[in-house]
Every structure is written in structure tokens, then in C-alpha cells.
Structure 1
Amino acid sequence: MSAARPSTAAATTGGGVIRTVLGDLDPAEFGVCDAHDHLFLRSPRLPGEELDDPAAAERVLRAFAAAGGRALVQWTPYGMGRGASALAGLSRATGVHLVAATGLHQAVHYEPELLAGLYDGLAELFTAELTTGLRDAPAGVRAGLIKVAGDYHDLGPHTRRVMAAAAEAHHATGAPIAVHHELGTAAPDVLDLLCGQYGVPAHRVILGHLNRLPDLRLHRHLADSGAYLALDGPSRAHHATDHHLFDTVAALVEAGHVDRLLLGGDTTTRTARHSPGPTHLLTSVGPRLDREFGPGLSRRLLVTNPAEALAVPRSAA
């Protein structure tokens, strides 16, 4: 992994836009952001736990907006019930900017027949959803990032195929690539593949779930590459991510990586929706960050960094 960190100044000086479901947005207007969450999600691995209720999604967004939230990034990719037909209406109704994802998750979240029909045209699918519109949404509703996923301490054939397509779509559009890491593992392998083999700039990669593996030395090494680290999961009851969050933030802030950190709720099940959800980032996590690390840190992690991480060059918009 390269230790060089490209400048992200373009995102904050008019050089980029954020692609929301209602159109392209100046990053300065994006506001307080939950950088990794799910309003809709369906998987055969989670029977009975589907997030498929637009009314429930609207309640989540209204509560988030009432607490000061202005933007939410949904990492649910293609073929997992991402609620694409409802996203634009929800954004208009609640005033919350929504960013949708293209891409694919791990193979276990799909029927084999669906994947077999997609593999030969993955890069074209991802690129079209970023530039023309989501297949399952009204015309003009486009994705703003590419979601992919690693395996547990490994990158198998499906993963490598999807990541190759994601890299091709990135080069065609400039879109960031957001990565699910199974229990926080295989992040160095992901960067070696995406950045080393396929030439994706590290600052265009968002590494998710890393606080599920509380290896602070590894986190510093990954941040050195220039990639963004999404610390997510406070919506998950009885999950260890809450226990590690502030130690992880402290280690990375002390190492000079405050500009690499993003925060997200990552609500993935109907049961988890009864937990605090994205509002918790604003009412609990953000204030505590400012108390422990000084005023302004929560704004950096919830406003400035997401706007930079998600901006697409205007030339590619």
C-alpha cells in the first residue's frame, strides 16, 4: 500500500459534487452525515429481518433530521432490496440527502441464478447505475458510490470478480468504492487489490467495519494509505463496536488521521431498527467526541470528511 495521501481539497473548493438520489449536490450543502447505513435491505441470510417498510424508513429519517442530520449514505447494493423506488420520495419528504449504492455484496446474499446472469456485465451495470440510473428506480435516480465486500480473512473468486468490476466503474466515473470487511478483516488485501493491482487511488476507498477488529496498529497502517475508515455499528445491540469506538478514534486522532475517519450507524435488520439508529450518532456519539477530544471533532467526522470522501469530480459527473 502506498503511504502517499492525495489531497481532497477539490471536494471542498468546488471541484466535485456528491451524487444524491435527487441529483448532484455541492459538498458544502451536504451537512451532517451518517456515512454508512441502511434504510432498506433484504438477504436470504437474514430471514424475517428484512428492512422493507418505507413508512419505517421515513420515521428513521425524520428523527435523524430532527436531531440535526442532513445526509445518509445507504450502502445496500444491487439485488438486496435497496428500496430504490422509494428513495427519492423519502428524500423529498424528509429533507435528508440520500446517497444510493450500486455494487454487489458477498455471494451468500444472493441466489446463484442471479449472480450467474450478472457476472459478464458487472462493470457495465455498475457504471450505468452511476451515470444513467438505478435499474429498479424511477428514471434519473443514480447511485453515488459502489459497494463491495471482502470475505473473512480472504478474497475469494466472487469478491475478486466484483472488485475488478468496481475498479473499472470507478475509473469510468470517479465514484468512491465502499467496502464491507467481514468482522473487520482483509482490509490490507482489499487495498492491495483495488489500489495496487487496479490503480484505484486510496482516498477513493472507504473501508467499513474496521472497529469490529480492534487492531489499532492495523488501523493506523490503513489510514496511512490515504483510505477512509468508516467506524460503524452503534445501531447493533450487544455488538462490540461500541466498546472499541472511542479507543479507535483516540488512536487515529493521536496518529494524525482525523481526516480519514467517518461514522455510520449501519442498521441492517428489523430488530436493530429498534435500537438508537442514526440519531444516536448525533445525540450521543458526536457530543461525547467533542467532550473527549475537543470542540469540532464531531463536525470533522460527520460533516467535513463525508463530503470529501463522497465527492465525484465534476468532469466525471
Structure 2
Amino acid sequence: MSTVRTVLGDIRPEDLGVCDAHDHLFLRSPGLPGQELNDASAARAELEAFRAAGGAAVVQWTPYGMGRRAADLPLLSRAAGVHLICATGLHQAAHYVPELLDRLRGGLAGLFVDELTRGIGTSGVRAGLIKVAGGFHALDAHARWTMTAAAEAHRATGAPIAVHLELGTAALDVLDLLCGKLGVPGDRVILGHLNRSPDLVLQREAAASGCWLAFDGPSRAHHATDWRMPEAVRSLCEAGFGDRLLLGGDTVVAGARSVDGGPGMPYLLRRIRPRLVAELGAEQVDRILTANPARAFAVQGR
């Protein structure tokens, strides 16, 4: 039996609703000084704005050690009336101090399993996915370490693995490692940021593995997002991969929130959805926002 593991407990996949498949309510990194997402009031306002736009669920990809504030998520979920899914996992090494990574040597898979099954710290919140990251056109030793741990945790829990692709690159390297060498089924892998490298041939090749392709982070002027994403999504649908697509906002700094003057979570439904409806039709876009994430983020058989 498959369930979606939210911060308030497991729900039926069909109850997830319209889903922002990749976003952040809280996040901090040494690489983003002074731009932290760390304001619970702003997070609640952003969720309420997303709900008002027709949203029902948000998947927070913030992993271990990056300010997830897991204990705050159940209250926010209840207050805003939005399902939240929390991540375990580990980002690129640049987002951590070396001492923290040293402490995790030898026990990373166990940490992931604990957060997926027992809960994150004393919060009682169980993670619903594992987030890891690749590098620019390659996988370094850190990426291989974290992905190996993620594959082990997946086998123990059935949780999906979501992958940050640096500028949308190294998708096939990730699949060769996770699905080839490590044996993770393709439909348990979610590739993020495909929109940042709009290579239609590569995207179709990745989709053929059975993995999920997440088009996330709209309205970023230095990425090929809004203006080329519809073409990529249409191409994938025409090739028969419309059932493998996800959409997300990926709000990573405070200034990007809608309540702080940025596009934020509502932009996905306010601007991106109508643009894609014009390209694909309402029925296909509704599947991408509802049926697809319900399957992608299901924890299978646990």
C-alpha cells in the first residue's frame, strides 16, 4: 500500500491535491548569507497565499543541516490548511561546514532512515523523501557518498529520492549511479531543475528511465525557465512522458517570497499554470499538478 508521508501523518496519495512539488519554507546556507528563509510568520503567509491561489500541498526539499525547522511545520500545515512533506538527505558539500560532514561519516544512511521512520530530532515529524545533489556536469565524491546512502535508505523505507541537478546538468550521470549501479527503480527518482538546462533530447532520454522530471524555479531571469519551459513540457508530453512531469517553485531566499515582493509559491498557479494550460490543455496540466506528485511522492510498501 502506498501513502504520502506528510508532517501531520500519512495520507492517501489521492488526497494530496494540487502540489508545488519543490519548494522551501525554511532554508539557510553559508552560500546565502543574509538571505535565509527563517521567518515562521512569512512562511505561514506564503502558504496561505498559495492556498488562496488553489494550492493544497507543498514539498519542502530542505535537507538535514540547512535549517528545516521541522518542529514548526505541523503548526504551519494546520494553520494554512496545506499538506507539507519534509525532506531528509544532504545537499552539496558547499552548504555545510566540514566538521558537520566529518561527524556524519559512516552513519549517513542510518541518519536518513531514522528521520524517515522515527522522526527528525524531537519534532515527531517523519521525513517523506530523501534529497541529495549532483554537481555541474559531474558527480564528485561527496555526491556519490550521499547518493549511495540515499539508495540504502530508499531500500529500507521505500521513500523517493529527489535530486538537485546543478544548473540542470549531470542527469544521466545521476541515473547511471542511482538506477544503474545502486539499483534504485527509476520511478523512485525525481530529478530537479531540468528547466535550467533545456536540452530536449537529454530530457527525453532521462524520462525513458522511468524517473520524474521536475520543472521548478520559475521566473529566474538567468535560467531558461518561463520562456522555454512550455516548449520542453510540450515536447515531453508529445513523446509520451506527460505522466512523468512535476512542477515546483523552489523559493530559496526571502526576497523571492510573494509576501516579500517576489513571485513566490503562488506564481506557480497564478502565472505558470495558465501558460501551460494554453500550451497543453487543462486536463494535462491538472495531471501534472495533482496525479503525478501523488505518485511521485508516495512511500511504497512501508
Find the residue that maps to 1:146 and give its secondary structure: strand
Per-residue deviation, 1:238: 4.9
Corresponding residue number in structure 1 for 2:117:
131
Q: Does 1:284 align with 2:271?
A: yes
Deviation string 1:136-168 (CA, Å, 9 cap, x unpaired) is: x522x1000000000111111111111000000
Query: How far apart in 2 are the matches of 1:236 and 1:79?
Result: 26
Q: Does 1:80 align with 2:66?
A: yes
Corresponding residue number in structure 2 for 1:255:
239
Query: How far apart in 1 are the matches of 2:8 and 2:247?
Result: 23
Determine if contact 1:287/1:298 at 8 Å carries over to the other structure. no
Query: How far apart in 1 are the matches of 2:184 and 2:200?
Result: 24
Q: 1:181 to 1:105 in 2, by over 3 A?
A: same
Query: How far apart in 1 are the matches of 2:5 and 2:28?
Result: 24
5+ residue gaps, structure 1, are: 1-14
Per-residue deviation, 1:237: 5.1
Per-residue deviation, 1:292: 2.0
Scaled by the length of structure 1, what TM-score is found? 0.92
Find the residue that maps to 2:25 and give its secondary structure: coil
Aligned residue identity for 2:8: L
Q: How many residues align?
A: 299
Find the residue that maps to 1:248 and give its secondary structure: helix
Q: Does 1:312 align with 2:296?
A: no
Corresponding residue number in structure 1 for 2:44:
58
Query: How far apart in 1 are the matches of 2:157 and 2:49?
Result: 33
Q: Does 1:101 align with 2:67?
A: no
Corresponding residue number in structure 2 for 1:158:
142
**Among 138, 156, 166, the residue aligned to 1:172:** 156
Q: Does 1:111 align with 2:70?
A: no
Determine if contact 2:230/2:275 at 8 Å carries over to the other structure. no
Determine if contact 1:237/1:275 at 8 Å carries over to the other structure. no
Determine if contact 2:131/2:163 at 8 Å carries over to the other structure. yes
**Among 191, 196, 206, the residue aligned to 1:212:** 196
Determine if contact 1:235/1:265 at 8 Å carries over to the other structure. no
Deviating 4+ runs (over 4 angstroms): none
Q: Does 1:296 align with 2:283?
A: yes
Aligned residue identity for 2:195: N
Query: How far apart in 2 are the matches of 1:198 and 1:283?
Result: 39
